């Protein structure tokens, strides 16, 4: 029987549209789209593959999404899936599914993944190693927590993304500064965490009915917060070929425990974790959604599959066949130096000569492009090779050759 599937994509961001297009290609379904952006903004080809569309004023509002899904089910027949890739959508979508009795991640579980303070409470209760933390609704609570947690700390919003408003807090003076900059309130509390010193990684897993059936992982060079604090750093992410290496046995065990405690259902999850100098690990945060920052593209290249389609098929048909991994893959984010718009790129020729054979996809910053505010910079280059160390070294050389000038 043909399934009716509703994809919620408030804004037509490039990555979001890759997921929508992937869903449109899943066999045995009719796909409807709910968006805040007007459907006319969609590429014509993709628009032609949609069976229906509803526009809402606020694409993150569960009430408006509910009404739109009800209207779509009157038009198409019963809806069997409601999905979306955006982090901010996961709780609203769970609320919609609960109201309309549509299978998928529960509201409780979606909240565990969305609220970082609640997440750490759940993880710690389950014995999963993670940073000490506390939620401060007032300035005095923040100071009290600081005394318990100790410096250095990290201050962040409990439902942040893109490391925005995330700060390293060195001492009492920098806590004062941070409290002045983003004063906490009971409605907008501040999450304080013990600062974990170590290497940062991801653990990206496919689960079916709460059971992890496949995983991938990456290493960050360096962690996003350090990238943000140092404007000259061009962030790199390496997806090693040997994800089943014994050095990852510990995170594999801990990740399964963490996903189970949080209530993962069927889907792709993105976990971030640290390895401290002494070898111990700590889980940082987990999203019940596909990773950002082109990770889905990296996973695709490492396995020679379209992982956007694998995700869509998983979400719609609860099915996934683990692909063999033939490559390591990595991404270097090209980040402008200075102020202003993109003026030019230096070092491309040298990089092309040395590393061109490793490049599988690139988005080079365009002259005149507006500067990015995120640690992902203005462009990227994806490398791939059967040997992990070739990709690792390639990334290092790439970011040392290529310089994006702003001005």
Ligand X SMILES: Nc1ncnc2c1ncn2[C@@H]1O[C@H](COP(=O)(O)OP(=O)(O)OP(=O)(O)O)[C@@H](O)[C@H]1O
- List residues binding ligand X (CB under 6 A): 131, 154, 156, 160-163, 166, 193-196, 200, 223-225, 272, 284-285
Closer CB to Mg ion, 272 or 376, in the complex? 272
Nearer to ligand X, 259 or 348 (CB): 259
- Compare residues 52 and 225 and give the one whose CB is closer to ligand X: 225
**Residue 200's binding partner, choosing from Mg ion, ligand X, none, with beta-carbon cut-off 5 to 8 A by kind?**
ligand X
Considering the complex, what minimum distance in angstroms separates the CB of residue 199 from Mg ion?
15
Q: Give the residue from 287, 380, 291, 372 showing the smallest Cα distance to 337.
A: 372
Residues in a beta bridge with 345:
404
Strand, helix or coil for residue 311:
helix
Burial class for 225, CB neighbours closer than 10 Å (0-12, 13-18, 19+): middle
CA distance 125 to 110: 18
Tell me which residue has its CB nearest to Mg ion.
Answer: 272
Q: How far is the CB of 5 from ligand X (least distance, A)?
A: 27
SS3 track for 3-28? EEEEEECCCCCHHHHHHHHHHHCCCC
Q: Which of 87, 128, 151, 366 is nearest to 254 (CA)?
A: 128
Is the preceding peptide bond at 98 cis, omega within 30 degrees of 0? no
State the minimum distance, in angstroms, from the CB of residue 235 to ligand X: 10
Residue number with the smallest Cβ distance to ligand X: 223
Nearer to Mg ion (CB atom), residue 157 or residue 347 = 157
Closest distance to ligand X from the beta carbon of 109 (Å): 18
CB of 197 to ligand X, least distance (A): 7
- Using CA atoms, how far residue 346 sits from 179, 221, 376, in Å, is 40, 22, 18
- Give the shortest CB-162-to-ligand X separation in angstroms: 5
What is the token pair recorded at 11? 């804004």
How far is residue 100 from each of residues 11, 31, 69, 96, measured CA to CA in Å? 23, 18, 9, 6
Strand boundaries in 122-258, DSSP class E: 133-136, 153-156, 167-169, 190-194, 198-208, 211-221, 236-239
Lookup: tokens for 384: 């791939």
3 state DSSP class of 153: strand
| 223 interface partner picked from Mg ion, ligand X, none, CB below 5 to 8 A per type | ligand X
6 versus 254: smaller Cβ distance to ligand X: 254
Indicate the residue among 87 and 306 with the shorter CB distance to ligand X: 87
From the list ligand X, Mg ion, none, partner contacted by residue 154 (C-beta under 5 to 8 A by kind): ligand X
What minimum distance in Å lies between the beta carbon of 350 and ligand X? Answer: 30
Of 224 and 290, nearer to ligand X (C-beta) is 224
Q: Residue 225 binds which entry of Mg ion, ligand X, none, with Cβ cut-offs from 5 to 8 Å by kind?
A: ligand X
The binding site for Mg ion (CB under 5 A) comprises 272
Q: Which residue is associated with the tokens 């990290």?
A: 154
DSSP 378: S
């Amino acid at each position: 029987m043909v399934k009716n599937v509703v994809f919620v994509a408030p804004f037509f961001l490039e990555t979001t549209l890759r997921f929508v297009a992937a869903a449109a290609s899943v066999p045995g379904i009719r796909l409807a789209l709910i968006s805040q952006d007007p459907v006319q903004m969609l590429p014509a080809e993709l628009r032609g593959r949609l069976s229906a569309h509803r526009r809402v004023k606020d694409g993150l509002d569960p009430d408006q999404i509910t009404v739109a899904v009800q209207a779509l089910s009157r038009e198409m027949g019963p809806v069997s899936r409601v999905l979306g890739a955006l982090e901010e959508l996961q709780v609203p979508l769970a609320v919609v599914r609960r109201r309309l009795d549509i299978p998928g991640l529960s509201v409780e579980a979606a909240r565990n993944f969305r609220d970082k303070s609640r997440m750490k409470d759940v993880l710690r209760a389950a014995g999963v190693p993670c940073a000490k933390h506390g939620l401060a609704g007032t300035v005095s609570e923040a100071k009290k927590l600081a005394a318990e947690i100790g410096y250095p700390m990290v201050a962040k919003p409990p439902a942040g993304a893109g490391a925005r408003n995330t700060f390293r807090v060195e001492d009492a003076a920098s806590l004062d500064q941070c409290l002045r900059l983003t004063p906490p309130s009971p409605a907008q509390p501040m999450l304080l965490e013990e600062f974990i010193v170590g290497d940062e990684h991801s653990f990206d897993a496919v689960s079916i009915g709460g059971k992890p059936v496949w995983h991938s992982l990456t290493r960050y060079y360096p962690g996003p917060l350090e990238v943000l604090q140092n404007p000259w750093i061009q962030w790199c992410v390496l997806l090693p070929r040997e994800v089943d290496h014994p050095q990852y046995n510990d995170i594999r065990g801990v990740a399964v425990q963490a996903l189970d405690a949080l209530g993962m259902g069927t889907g792709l999850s993105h976990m971030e974790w640290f390895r401290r100098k002494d070898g111990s690990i700590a889980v940082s945060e987990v999203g019940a959604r596909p990773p950002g920052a082109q990770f889905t593209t990296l996973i695709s290249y490492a396995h020679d599959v379209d992982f956007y389609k694998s995700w869509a098929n998983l979400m719609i048909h609860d099915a996934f066949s683990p692909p063999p991994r033939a490559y390591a893959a990595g991404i270097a984010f090209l980040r402008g130096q200075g102020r202003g718009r993109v003026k030019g790129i230096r070092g491309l020729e040298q990089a092309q000569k040395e590393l061109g054979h490793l490049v599988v996809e690139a988005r080079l910053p365009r002259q005149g492009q507006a500067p990015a505010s995120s640690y992902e910079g203005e462009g990227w280059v994806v490398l791939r090779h059967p040997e992990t160390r070739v990709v690792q070294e390639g990334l290092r050389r790439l970011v040392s050759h290529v310089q994006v000038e702003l001005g």
